[in-house]
Structure 1
Amino acid sequence: MIKVKVSLRPIVSKINLPTVLKTAILPGDSIERLFIATQVGEIFYIGNGVIRTFLDIRPRIIKLGDSELGVSRGGYDERGLLGLAFHPEFYYNGLFYLHYSVAGTQGPGALSEPFRPNPCDPRTLNLRWINRENQYDHIDTVEEWILQSNGQPQKRRTLLNLRRPFFNHNGVNSLNFSPETGNLVLTTGDGGSGYDPFNLSQDDMEIAGKIIEIDVDKNTFIYNPPVITRFNELPAPIQETLTVIAKGVRNIPGISFQKFYNQYIKYVGNVGQDLVESIFSFVHYKPIPVTQLIQASLMKSKPGLEGFINFGWRGWEGAFPTSFIRGCSANPTLDEKTIAYYNEAINSSVKRIQPITSYFHKDPRPDKFGGTALTGVQPYMGNGIPNLTGSVVFTDLAKDKESQPPVRGGLAYTTVSTDCKLNDFSVIETDYNFGSQSAYYVNLGTNLDQTRLYLGVYGSMKVTDFNQGTVFEIVP
C-alpha cells in the first residue's frame, strides 16, 4: 500500500474533548458548517472562521470523572454527550438528535469488583445482570430537539432512556442517519466493564451491543419513555419504531456510509479488548423488527436471522477468539494468551462476519503501529489527497502506548478488497509538530459528501482536564 503523507490544519483549539465532528447546513443558511460536540455537553459550529455556540447542555450531563465504588477513575470517563445527528431534512424542519448520559443518575455499578473471565470457573462465564433497577452505573438518553424559528434549540421528546451497567462502552459518535432508510441509527456498546461480563452483546433482547435503527418519523406519542435495558420492556408504540441491524458489538465509534453506484457500503469499527482493533464492512443486511425479536423470544424460537449482522463479540475479538493476556511466569518478556470463552467462540464462529482489516495492540512490523482503541472510521471520497480517494481512513487513540511520552494518536487507511478478504492497512504520516504536549486522536469526522476529513485531538486522557482540544482538517 502507498505511503501517504498529510498535513493537519488547525481549525479551532482550546476546546473540551470533541466526541462528534460533522457538518450541516443551518435553516436559512447557504453554507455547510462544521459542528463540534464536546463530551462535557457543548455543541459549537464554525462560521466564517468564528466559533459560535449552538447548544450548551452541560447542566444535563452526568458529573464526569467521578469515582465509582470508591475507586477513583482519575478523571477518565466514557460517559457524557456522545451522539449528535441532524435529520436529513434539518434545513427544512430544524430537527436534530442527541445521545448523552443524564445528570443525577449515578448508580453503584452492576458488579462490586472488576471482572475477569476464568475458563476454570464456570461462574465467571455465566454471570447474569440481576437487580437492574438498583445495580447500574448511569442512565443514557436519546432525545429529539428542534431548532426553533427564533434560533433557539428546544427539546421535543425523549426517544429512549437506557440504563447502563458500567461507566464505559456507551459508544461515541453514536447517532447517524442512514442515507438508505432515512432512519436514525443508534450504535450502542456492550455496557462496559471488560469482556462483556453478562454477554449482553449476543442476547437478542438486550439493547446493549447492538446497532439499532429508529424510525423517528413515526410519532409514538410517548414523550418520556420508561428507563429500560431490554427491548421487551419498551412500550409497544416504541417497539414498533425499532429495527436491529447487528449484534456482537463491543464498543463502537459510529457507523459510516459510502455510496457505491446505487447502494451503500456500511463501515463499523469494533474497539478491541487486549489484542486487536477491527473494522467491518457490509452492504446487504436484513434488519429485524424488534417486534419480531420479541415474538421469537416469547415463542422460544430463533427468528429468521439470515442477513442479520453479527460481529462475533464476546466470543470473537475481530478475527481472533477472545483471549485474555497474562505474563508468563517462566519468561517475563513473553505473554500467555488464553481463550476466554471457548464455547462461545465455537457457537458464533460461523454466524459472524469477518473484519476487512485489523490492527494489533502489539505489532512487531516496522512500518505499522501498535494501537490502543479505535476512535473513528470514515470513507474519503475527495480528490484533494488522491492516494486516499475511495479508501477508508481510521484513527487510533494512542499508538505504541508502552513507548515514552508524549503520546501520539494513530492515523491510517485501508481499502476494501473485492474478494472481501482481510486486508492490510497503511500508516498515514502527518507533519504537525505537537511539541511536548500529548496528542490523543479522539475523533474522526467528515463533511456531507465525504470530501473533507476532520480530526479531533486532545492533550489528555482525562475529561476533567479542560480546554485541551484541537480540531484539525486533514489536508494534502
Structure 2
Amino acid sequence: MRSVKVRLLPIVSNINLPTVLKSTILPGDSIERLFIATQVGEIFYIGNGVIKTFLDIRPRIIKLGTSEPGVSRGGYDERGLLGLAFHPNFYYNGLFYLHYSMAGTQGPGALSKHFKPDPCDPKTLNLKWVNRETNYDHIDTVEEWIFQSNGQPQKRRTLLNLRRPFFNHNGVNSLNFSPETGKLVLTTGDGGAGFDPFNLSQNDMEIAGKIIEIDVVKNTFINNPPVVTRFNELPLPIQETLTVMAKGVRNIPGISFQRIYNQYIKYTGNVGQDLAESIFSFVHYKPIPVTQLVQHASFMDSFSDEEGFINFGWRGWEGAFPTMIKRGCSANPATDEKITAYYSEAIETSVKRLEPITSYYHKDIRPDKFGGTALTGVQPYLGNDIPDLSGSVVFTDAARQESQPVRGVLAYTRARTDGKLNDFGIIETDYNFGPQSSLYMSLGTNLDQTRLYLGAYGSMKVTDFNLGTIFEIIP
C-alpha cells in the first residue's frame, strides 16, 4: 500500500500526556467539542478556541512513575487515567464513565523477580498468582459520573474495582460505548509483566485480558463493589450486568465501531511482545453472560470456546505469529534466534483465534515500511477530506524504531473482503517537531468519524510534564 501525505494542525500544546481523545456535545450546548484526558488525571475540552477544564481528578490517581512504595521506575508508567466514555444520551442525562488507577493502592507487585519463560524449564511456563490480596501492584476502578446542571461533574457510583498484578497492560482508551448494544465496553490488558506469566488472558474466570460489556442501565445497588481479580468473586447483581465479548488480549488501545448499513464493524488492536503489533476487526460475535461463565467454571472444558466467541489468541499467538522468545546473536542481530515460547498453547488456540487484518513488525527490512514499538490507537476514518484514507483504518505507533530524535508514526490499512492478512501503508506528515522527541500516544475522531485527532508527547515519562500537543490530521 502506498504512502499518504497529510498535515498536522496543532490545536492545543503544553498539556500532560494525553491518553484519550473523544468528542461529544455538552448538555445545553450546540457545538461538538473535543475532550482530552491526560494520564495524570485531567480532562479538558476545547471551547471557542480556548482550552477549558472539565474535570480534574489528579488527587484520586495513584502516584505515577513509582513501582513499589517509594521506588522510582524512571518516570515510565502505564497506570493513571486510562478511560473516558460519554453515555450515548450524555446530552440529556449528563452521564460519563472513567477508568483509572486509584491513589493509595500501591502494592509490591505479583512477582519478586523479572519473568521470562524458558521452554526448556516447565516450571517457568505456568506460574500461579497466589496471595492476591497482598501480591498485587495497584487497584483500577471504573466509575459512573454525572455532569450536573450547575456545570460541576460529580461521581455517582463505582461499577468495578479490579486488583492488577503489575503496573503495565491496563489498557488505554479503555472505555467506549457500543452503538450496537448501548453497553459500556471495557477493554482490559492481561495484567502485564510480559508473556502473561499467569496466563490470565485465556482463563475464562480472570477479568484480565478480556473485552467486557457493562450494562449501565441495570442498577446493582452496590455502592462499594469488592476489589476482585476473577468474575466469580463479584456479587451476583454485578455479574448480571456483565457479558464477555472476547479473550486472549495482551494489551489494547480501545475498541472502535464503524457502521456499514445496518451492521457495525468492530476494530481493535493488540500490543505485541517482541515481534509484531496487530489490528483486528470483526462484525459478528457471541458475548457470554458472566453468570454463565461462572456456572460453567466447574467444568474442565472452556465454555468460551464455542463458535462466535472472539479469541485474539494471546499468549499462544502474537498477532500473526506463534509467540516467540528472541535470543540475541550478538555477531549479527538479523540472525537472532526465535523460539516458540508456548508451542502447545499456539496449537490449542490456532483454529479458535481471530486472525488480524494486518500485523506490522518491530523489525521490517522493506524500504516502504517501518519498525514499530507499541500500538497506541486504532480508528476508522469515514471522511472525504483525505480521499486516500477514506474508508480505511488508521493506526498509531508510539515510536518508530531507531528514529533519532524519537518519532511516532501514523499508518493505515483496510480489511480485505476475503478475510486475509492485508498490508499497511505509512501516513507521512509534514510537521517539524524540532530536536525534541515526539511519541504518538493517542488517536481520536469526531462523532461521525470524518475528522482525526492525534495526541503526541515529548517523552516516555509521565513525570515529565506539559510536553503534550494535540493535532488535527488534515489534508
Indicate the TM-score class for this superposition, using the shorter chain for normalisation: over 0.9
How many Å separate the matches in 1 of 2:303 and 2:437? 48
Counterpart of 1:292? Answer: 292
Equivalences for residues 360-439 of structure 1 within 5 A = 360-400=361-401, 402-403=402-403, 405-439=404-438
Counterpart of 2:451? Answer: 452
Counterpart of 1:191? Answer: 191
Equivalences for residues 204-353 of structure 1 within 5 A = 204-303=204-303, 305-328=306-329, 331=332, 334-353=335-354
Asked if the contact 1:277–1:371 (Cα under 8 Å) also holds between the matched residues in 2, the reply is yes
* CA shift for structure 1 position 140: 0.1
Asked if the contact 1:107–1:136 (Cα under 8 Å) also holds between the matched residues in 2, the reply is yes
The alignment partner of 2:378 has SS state of: strand
* CA shift for structure 1 position 330: 6.2
Counterpart of 2:105? Answer: 105
Asked if the contact 1:2–1:387 (Cα under 8 Å) also holds between the matched residues in 2, the reply is no
Out of 62-71 and 205-214, give the one that drifted further: 62-71
How many Å separate the matches in 2 of 1:220 and 1:230? 18
* CA shift for structure 1 position 302: 3.5
The alignment partner of 1:344 has SS state of: helix
Equivalences for residues 84-95 of structure 1 within 5 A = 84-95=84-95
* CA shift for structure 1 position 306: 1.4
Q: Using structure 2 for the length normalisation, give the TM-score.
A: 0.98
Task: Give the letter for the 1:252 counterpart.
Answer: I
Q: Does 1:443 align with 2:452?
A: no
How many Å separate the matches in 2 of 1:333 and 1:221? 58
Counterpart of 2:74? Answer: 74
Asked if the contact 2:204–2:302 (Cα under 8 Å) also holds between the matched residues in 1, the reply is no
> What's the % identity of the aligned pairs?
82
How many Å separate the matches in 1 of 2:178 and 2:310? 16
* CA shift for structure 1 position 324: 1.1
Q: Does 1:172 align with 2:138?
A: no
How many Å separate the matches in 1 of 2:338 and 2:252? 24
The alignment partner of 1:346 has SS state of: helix
Task: Give the letter for the 2:381 counterpart.
Answer: Y
The alignment partner of 2:296 has SS state of: helix
Asked if the contact 2:214–2:241 (Cα under 8 Å) also holds between the matched residues in 1, the reply is yes
The alignment partner of 2:303 has SS state of: coil
* CA shift for structure 1 position 328: 2.1
How many Å separate the matches in 1 of 2:330 and 2:35? 51
Asked if the contact 1:40–1:81 (Cα under 8 Å) also holds between the matched residues in 2, the reply is yes
How many Å separate the matches in 2 of 1:112 and 1:302? 31
* CA shift for structure 1 position 3: 2.4
Task: Give the letter for the 1:397 counterpart.
Answer: A
Asked if the contact 1:69–1:112 (Cα under 8 Å) also holds between the matched residues in 2, the reply is no
| 1:410-444 deviations in Å (ceiling 9; x for gaps) | 10000111001000000000000001011100000
* CA shift for structure 1 position 72: 3.4
* CA shift for structure 1 position 301: 4.4
Task: Give the letter for the 2:338 counterpart.
Answer: K
How many Å separate the matches in 2 of 1:329 and 1:102? 43
Task: Give the letter for the 1:214 counterpart.
Answer: I
* CA shift for structure 1 position 73: 1.6
Q: How many residues align?
A: 474
Asked if the contact 2:69–2:106 (Cα under 8 Å) also holds between the matched residues in 1, the reply is no
How many Å separate the matches in 2 of 1:382 and 1:179? 19
* CA shift for structure 1 position 298: 2.6
* CA shift for structure 1 position 288: 0.3
The alignment partner of 1:29 has SS state of: coil
Asked if the contact 2:196–2:315 (Cα under 8 Å) also holds between the matched residues in 1, the reply is yes
* CA shift for structure 1 position 223: 1.1
Gap runs ≥5 in structure 2 = none
How many Å separate the matches in 2 of 1:332 and 1:173? 35
| 1:330-375 deviations in Å (ceiling 9; x for gaps) | 6455311111111111111110010000000000000000000000
How many Å separate the matches in 2 of 1:342 and 1:5? 42
Q: Indicate how the Cα distance of structure 1 residues 395 and 329 shifts in structure 2: closer, same or farther if over 3 A, else same.
A: closer
Moved over 4 A (4+): 329-333
How many Å separate the matches in 1 of 2:171 and 2:330? 36
Q: Indicate how the Cα distance of structure 1 residues 119 and 69 shifts in structure 2: closer, same or farther if over 3 A, else same.
A: farther
Counterpart of 1:58? Answer: 58
Q: Indicate how the Cα distance of structure 1 residues 365 and 155 shifts in structure 2: closer, same or farther if over 3 A, else same.
A: same
Out of 266-275 and 321-330, give the one that drifted further: 321-330
How big is the alpha-carbon RMSD for the aligned residues of Structure 1 and Structure 2? 1.1
The alignment partner of 1:206 has SS state of: coil
How many Å separate the matches in 2 of 1:457 and 1:86? 23
Asked if the contact 1:125–1:197 (Cα under 8 Å) also holds between the matched residues in 2, the reply is yes
The alignment partner of 1:151 has SS state of: coil
How many Å separate the matches in 2 of 1:287 and 1:456? 32
How many Å separate the matches in 2 of 1:199 and 1:361? 23
Q: Indicate how the Cα distance of structure 1 residues 330 and 439 shifts in structure 2: closer, same or farther if over 3 A, else same.
A: closer
The alignment partner of 2:144 has SS state of: strand
Task: Give the letter for the 2:29 counterpart.
Answer: D
* CA shift for structure 1 position 300: 3.8
* CA shift for structure 1 position 261: 1.1
Task: Give the letter for the 2:85 counterpart.
Answer: A
Equivalences for residues 352-363 of structure 1 within 5 A = 352-363=353-364
The alignment partner of 2:59 has SS state of: helix
How many Å separate the matches in 2 of 1:219 and 1:16? 35
Q: Using structure 1 for the length normalisation, give the TM-score.
A: 0.98
Asked if the contact 1:69–1:109 (Cα under 8 Å) also holds between the matched residues in 2, the reply is no
How many Å separate the matches in 2 of 1:456 and 1:174? 16
* CA shift for structure 1 position 69: 7.7
